[in-house]
Amino acid sequence: MTSHAGLAAYPSLRHDYGRLVEKGEISSDPVQEALTIRFDRVIAELGASNAAAKTNALGWLFARKKAPSAVRGLYVYGGVGRGKTMLMDMFFRLAPLKQKRRAHFNEFMADVHDRIGLHRAALKAGTAKGDDPIPPVAAAIAAESRLLCFDEFTVTDIADAMILSRLFTALFSNGVTLVATSNVAPDDLYRDGLNRGLFLPFIQTLKDNVDVVAVDIPTDYRMLKLSHLPVYVTPLGPAADAQMDEAWAAATEGRSEAPAKLEVMGRHVTVPRACGKAARFTFADLCDAPLGARDYLAIAERFDTIFIDHIPVMDQTRRNASKRFILLIDTLYDRHIRLVASAEASPDRLYAGREGVTEAFEFARTASRLNEMQSREWVEATGV
């Protein structure tokens, strides 16, 4: 617990980090330790702001007329596997607010666009006023969440880029605090994006409302945990399942997982198990379901590590599934995604159909790529 200027004590991330080090669950790192102090500043100021609002009678009287001032947030960026997500998870648990939300940025923006659509529909029906949907949408989000936490913050969609400046100006004005992690500095967000000039005001708005901290740690802790584990497990069985679970625990670093949905051309692709930049599917989820190139591309753009359980041996009786599997592996290979898989047989024996058919010819390339994706050179090159 920490105490600031006579105020009540608030949870301390630095304290919890130290306990994990003492128990041997993580290795002590000076850059991470310094970052815990940054997070603790936000925790203390959020706690003080929350306490002041509860004890100040005038605050209750005028709460609907004047939004509380936003606590200055935090934007932490650096390479993958540096502990940013671990610290974000610890921070979110400790943040002394009930009105808080942790989400993947793309999911948050999908919610924003849905709200904008509903507001426009209400305007058309005559049940809402005001041509600009951004202010009421921002006010509604602020009423639900005084703290927004985004892990792996990135901007790739032009529809998102065009509204971010106005959206976050309104959110900050409504007292929302932003805490985010990212692989890139603010100045590199949406780099080379279409009409980027219209996006640039958001970068300045972001800098005006958060402390920007670079995390430069030479050790990739996630890679260190994964490096001794197999990435292609065969044959199938309880032992293979146990090895997959062990690798999944290393990739997710013990963080909680949840299903996710990706929007693709107006429909949704379900991700049964997602945690940060890692996703876990069964072969049936990806290849028996009616998915196509756009779906696999959306998965590869959202995640950098893909787990596939229970890949069977295929032949001409599973022609559609084998075609999807070929397309899936091509997509993951081209995007240089790290693959961890359990299979009924080695890559060279995964297709047992007749020689000379199209799938058999194409599967030779797939087997070659699966073998390459197991190599240490490939794994290290993924940067995961």
Share of the chain above pLDDT 90, in %: 36
- Please give the Cα distance from 165 to 223 (Å, whole number): 35
On whether the CB atoms of residues 347 and 231 are closer than 8 A, the answer is no
Number of H helices, E strands in the chain: 16, 11
Q: Determine, yes or no, domain membership for 280.
A: yes
Q: Please check whether residues 373 and 296 belong to one and the same domain.
A: yes
pLDDT of residue 294: 87
Q: Are residues 243 and 365 in the same domain?
A: yes
Domain for residue 292, yes or no?
yes
* Judgement on whether residues 177 and 313 belong to the same structural domain of the protein: no
What is the strand order of the sheet 258-264 is part of? 232-233, 338-343, 305-311, 278-282, 267-275, 258-264
Q: Are strands 73-78 and 177-182 parallel, antiparallel or unpaired?
A: parallel
Give the predicted TM-score (pTM) of the model. Answer: 0.61
Residue 204, pLDDT score: 93
* Shared-domain flag, residues 198 and 230: no
Element (H, E) at 115: helix 105-125
Helix (H, G, I), strand (E, B) or coil at 299: helix
Write out the residue range of the structural domain in which residue 372 sits.
221-382
Tokens (6 digits) for 202: 């958001």
Per-residue pLDDT reduced to its tens digit, 187-244: 888 887 888 888 999 999 999 999 999 887 555 555 555 555 678 999 999 999 999 9
Q: Looking at residue 303, which CATH number applies to its domain?
A: 3.40.50
Looking at the structure of the chain, the number of domains it has is 2
In a domain, 7, yes or no: no
Q: Are residues 254 and 320 in the same domain?
A: yes
CA distances from 137 to 149, 266, 339, 347 (A): 18, 21, 39, 50
Same-domain check for residues 131 and 237 = no
Helix (H) or strand (E) holding 204: helix 200-209
Measure Cα distances from 379 to 226, 227, 245 in Å.
10, 8, 19
Which residue in 210, 209, 141 sits closest to 174, CA to CA? 141
**What pLDDT digit, counting tens, does each position of 76-105 carry?**
988 666 778 888 888 999 998 899 999 878
